Amino acid sequence: MELPFAESWKIKMVEPIRKSTREEREQWIKEAHYNVFQLKANQVYIDLLTDSGTGAMSDRQWAGIMMGDESYAGADSFFKLKETIQRLTGFEYVIPTHQGRAAENVLFSYLVHEGDIVPGNSHFDTTKGHIEGRKAIALDCTVDEAKDTQLEVPFKGNVDPVKLENALKEHGDRIPFIIVTITNNTAGGQPVSMENLRQVRAVADKYGKPVVFDSARFAENAYFIKTREEGYADKTIKEITREMFALADGMTMSAKKDGLVNMGGFIATRKQEWYEGAKGYCVQFEGYLTYGGMNGRDMNALAIGLDENTEFDNLDTRIRQVQLLARLLDEYGIPYQRPAGGHAIFVDAPKVLTHVPKEEFPAQTLTIELYLEAGIRGCEIGYLLADRDPVTRENRFTGLDLLRLAIPRRVYTDNHIAVIAAALKNVYERRAEITRGVRIAWEAPLMRHFTVQLERL
Ligand SMILES: *Cc1c(COP(=O)(O)O)cnc(C)c1O
């Protein structure tokens, strides 16, 4: 008999979690203004809010923590991190920051100016925030396939090269760089193919523009290239990673994702000019150049995490767990962004809550229902997150409205996955009774979803 698949690690330390009653949850979510970001973590049984900074570190990473060099300048931990990033990406210059958005802040302070246009594939919310906050425009050039959640294509995160080229033709002089998010978080954790990265490079070269990768989940992207793209089955994740980054001029990184650490980020680039231009902003916003926003111990843990997470077995263990959840939802007939992405399942909320009008935020409504059902905290990646148009101030209802179930790395077991699927099935079975959603009682002018206060209708 062929042996079944099993995790590539065993467990050395555990953390108890607590169930709650429906009455408790009714009270807690009301106190949280129906915004799951406002819940206390101990009011949550299974936390799928995000896979960002929520993973479990390895024994080797914890050992690295003990060996951290906390010197203000020239710390050994910095050089370890820099050497690892250089080896994995081929980028020579490295600036550590406290997380991904800080990397964006430092690099974009140098590169993005009022009136600029930054084309890319479904810019992440903080990326968009750092562009729009500088009175520039984040222009979405994602392939149209990404909008059809039921279409089963392997690289739904791709940039549409025709849209990109049109943008360059039309606004060339206003475009400081092109940004490609790997994997495409906002479109459902969908990967970008190597072929597409090459197409983007070709268009960029034709118009003389640099390319930045927003690289939070670059290792998961490499896993999908290996498992889905012709010609890559026999290459290692590290080889594919090098090949991807060879097509970019620089990267911003949220190390809280594929860096396998709880906090951290960095900028890396081959352009000395960018390094020289951005480094002053690092000192101003983050810290001195050999620690940025990070502790020495955390730079050590990150260096080790980057190496671990560019090994196939680690990625295979993770992504198979996401695919297990997808298989269970298939069994129960629950529609989600197909095929399953790298870090999460994105449930297509308007297809589940067909009676809730878009003005009442179906995905947020489903998020609340799943929490009430079983204490599972998902996250709306939809109309609330999409925010308002910066010019017209109208809600943006044009994109997808998804409930994201993000799976933390190396944290939950397959039994937890079964609970999640069963809870969602229970909500799905009573979907006809859910006819009203929520309305906004208060919202912030930018990135409102973190703090928005809602009322149930
Ligand atoms: C998380 C994320 C960011 C921002 O990183 P933080 O570490 O949360 O500040 C940027 N881009 C993408 C694609 C992300 O997933």
Q: Looking at ligand 1, which residue's alpha carbon is closest to its atom 3? A: 100
Asked if residue 136 is part of any domain, the answer here is yes
Q: Which of 275, 308, 341 is the last residue of a domain?
A: 308
Q: 162 vs 172, which has greater pLDDT?
A: 162
Q: Please check whether residues 104 and 237 belong to one and the same domain.
A: yes
Question: Is 140 an active-site residue?
Answer: no
Question: What confidence tier does 101 reach under pLDDT thresholds 50, 70, 90?
Answer: very high
3-state secondary structure 342-397: CCEEEEEHHHHCCCCCHHHCHHHHHHHHHHHHHCEECEEECHHHHCECCCCCCECC
Decide: helix, strand or coil at residue 289.
Answer: coil
Q: Which of 308, 331, 358 is the last residue of a domain?
A: 308
Asked if residue 215 is part of any domain, the answer here is yes
Q: Please check whether residues 47 and 103 belong to one and the same domain.
A: no
Question: What confidence tier does 152 reach under pLDDT thresholds 50, 70, 90?
Answer: very high
Mean pLDDT (the chain, rounded): 96
Number of domains in the chain: 2
Question: What confidence tier does 386 reach under pLDDT thresholds 50, 70, 90?
Answer: confident
CB-based burial label for 148 (10 Å; 0-12, 13-18, 19+): middle
For residues 111, 117, 118 and 119, what is the CA-based torsion angle, rounded to 10 degrees?
A: -160
How many angstroms separate the alpha carbon of residue 129 from the centre of ligand 1? 11
Asked if residue 1 is part of any domain, the answer here is no
CB-based burial label for 389 (10 Å; 0-12, 13-18, 19+): exposed
Q: Phi, psi at residue 180, to the nearest 5°?
A: -120, 125
Question: Is 19 an active-site residue?
Answer: no
Q: What is the pLDDT of residue 446?
A: 79
Are 92 and 297 contacting, i.e. CB atoms less than 8 angstroms apart? no
Separate counts of helices (H) and strands (E) for the chain: 16, 14
Q: Please check whether residues 361 and 220 belong to one and the same domain.
A: no
Asked if residue 264 is part of any domain, the answer here is yes
Q: Considering the chain, what percentage of its residues have pLDDT values greater than 90?
A: 95
Domain holding 213: CATH number?
3.40.640.10
Asked if residue 3 is part of any domain, the answer here is no
Q: Please check whether residues 295 and 430 belong to one and the same domain.
A: no
First to last CA, the chain: 55
- Helix crossing, 76-89 with 296-308: angle to 10°? 30
CB-based burial label for 59 (10 Å; 0-12, 13-18, 19+): exposed
Q: What is the pLDDT of residue 390?
A: 82
User: Chain centroid to CA 214: how far?
Assistant: 9
Residue ranges around ligand 1 (CB below 6 Å)? 52, 99-101, 124, 126-127, 181, 185, 214, 216, 254, 256-257, 265
Question: Is 125 an active-site residue?
Answer: yes
Q: Please check whether residues 153 and 281 belong to one and the same domain.
A: yes
Ligand 1 atom at shortest distance from the alpha carbon of 50: 1
Q: Please check whether residues 193 and 265 belong to one and the same domain.
A: yes
Mutate which of 52, 54, 97, 98 for ligand 1? The one with the most ligand atoms within 8 Å of its CB, which is 52
Which neighbouring-strand residues pair with 93?
Answer: 269
Q: Which of 141, 147, 150 is nearest to 211 (CA)?
A: 141
Q: Please check whether residues 77 and 181 belong to one and the same domain.
A: yes
Ligand 1 atom at shortest distance from the alpha carbon of 101: 9
Q: What is the pLDDT of residue 195?
A: 98
Of these residues, 93, 108, 124, 336, which one is catalytic? 124
Distance CA 211, CA 217 (A): 17
Catalogue the E-assigned strands of 195-276. 211-214, 250-254, 265-269
Mean pLDDT in residue range 106-134? 95
Ligand 1 atom at shortest distance from the alpha carbon of 215: 13
Q: What digits encode the pLDDT tens for the residues 329-345?
A: 999 999 999 999 999 99
pTM: 0.95
Q: What is the pLDDT of residue 125?
A: 85
Ligand 1 atom at shortest distance from the alpha carbon of 264: 7
Asked if residue 5 is part of any domain, the answer here is no
Q: Please check whether residues 302 and 385 belong to one and the same domain.
A: no
Of these residues, 123, 257, 279, 343, which one is catalytic? 257
Are 165 and 196 contacting, i.e. CB atoms less than 8 angstroms apart? no
Q: Looking at ligand 1, which residue's alpha carbon is closest to its atom 1? A: 254
How many angstroms separate the alpha carbon of residue 81 from the centre of ligand 1? 19
Question: What confidence tier does 188 reach under pLDDT thresholds 50, 70, 90?
Answer: confident
CB-based burial label for 12 (10 Å; 0-12, 13-18, 19+): exposed
Mean pLDDT in residue range 426-446? 95
Q: Please check whether residues 83 and 32 belong to one and the same domain.
A: no
Q: Please check whether residues 323 and 447 belong to one and the same domain.
A: yes
Mean pLDDT in residue range 88-110? 98
Q: Please check whether residues 254 and 385 belong to one and the same domain.
A: no
C-alpha distance from residue 12 to each of 57, 321, 408 (Å): 11, 20, 17
**DSSP assignment, residue 433?**
G
Q: What is the pLDDT of residue 260?
A: 98
Q: Which of 308, 335, 355 is the last residue of a domain?
A: 308
How many angstroms separate the alpha carbon of residue 100 from the centre of ligand 1? 5
Q: Please check whether residues 233 and 217 belong to one and the same domain.
A: yes
3-state secondary structure 61-129: HHHHHHCCCCCCCCCHHHHHHHHHHHHHHCCCEEEEECCHHHHHHHHHHHHCCCCCEEEECCCCHHHHH
Q: What digits encode the pLDDT tens for the residues 19-60?
A: 999 999 999 999 999 999 999 999 999 999 999 999 999 999
Q: What is the pLDDT of residue 272?
A: 98
Domain that holds residue 115: 59-308
Asked if residue 379 is part of any domain, the answer here is yes
Question: Is 124 an active-site residue?
Answer: yes
Query: Which residue shows structure tokens 């080797």?
Result: 60
Q: Which of 155, 150, 187 is nearest to 351 (CA)?
A: 150
Asked if residue 146 is part of any domain, the answer here is yes
Q: Which of 212, 257, 285, 296 is nearest to 100 (CA)?
A: 257
Of these residues, 51, 125, 160, 387, which one is catalytic? 125
How many angstroms separate the alpha carbon of residue 217 from the centre of ligand 1? 9
Mutate which of 50, 126, 286 for ligand 1? The one with the most ligand atoms within 8 Å of its CB, which is 126
Q: What is the pLDDT of residue 447?
A: 81
Q: Looking at ligand 1, which residue's alpha carbon is closest to its atom 8? A: 100
Mutate which of 105, 214, 254, 257 for ligand 1? The one with the most ligand atoms within 8 Å of its CB, which is 254
CB-based burial label for 231 (10 Å; 0-12, 13-18, 19+): exposed
User: Chain centroid to CA 402: how far?
Assistant: 14
Q: What digits encode the pLDDT tens for the residues 68-91?
A: 999 999 999 999 999 999 999 999
- Provide the token pair at 304: 């080790």
Q: What digits encode the pLDDT tens for the residues 294-315?
A: 999 999 999 999 999 999 999 9
Question: What confidence tier does 147 reach under pLDDT thresholds 50, 70, 90?
Answer: confident
- Provide the token pair at 393: 């101030």
Q: Phi, psi at residue 281, to the nearest 5°?
A: -70, -30
User: Which amino acid, residue 159?
Assistant: V
Query: Which residue shows structure tokens 């670059």?
Result: 218
How many angstroms separate the alpha carbon of residue 34 from the centre of ligand 1? 24
How many angstroms separate the alpha carbon of residue 128 from the centre of ligand 1? 11
CB-based burial label for 15 (10 Å; 0-12, 13-18, 19+): exposed
Q: What is the pLDDT of residue 78?
A: 98
Question: Is 449 an active-site residue?
Answer: yes
Q: What is the pLDDT of residue 370?
A: 98
Are 106 and 82 contacting, i.e. CB atoms less than 8 angstroms apart? no
Domain holding 435: CATH number?
3.90.1150.10
Query: Which residue shows structure tokens 């067909």?
Result: 354
How many angstroms separate the alpha carbon of residue 451 from the centre of ligand 1? 18
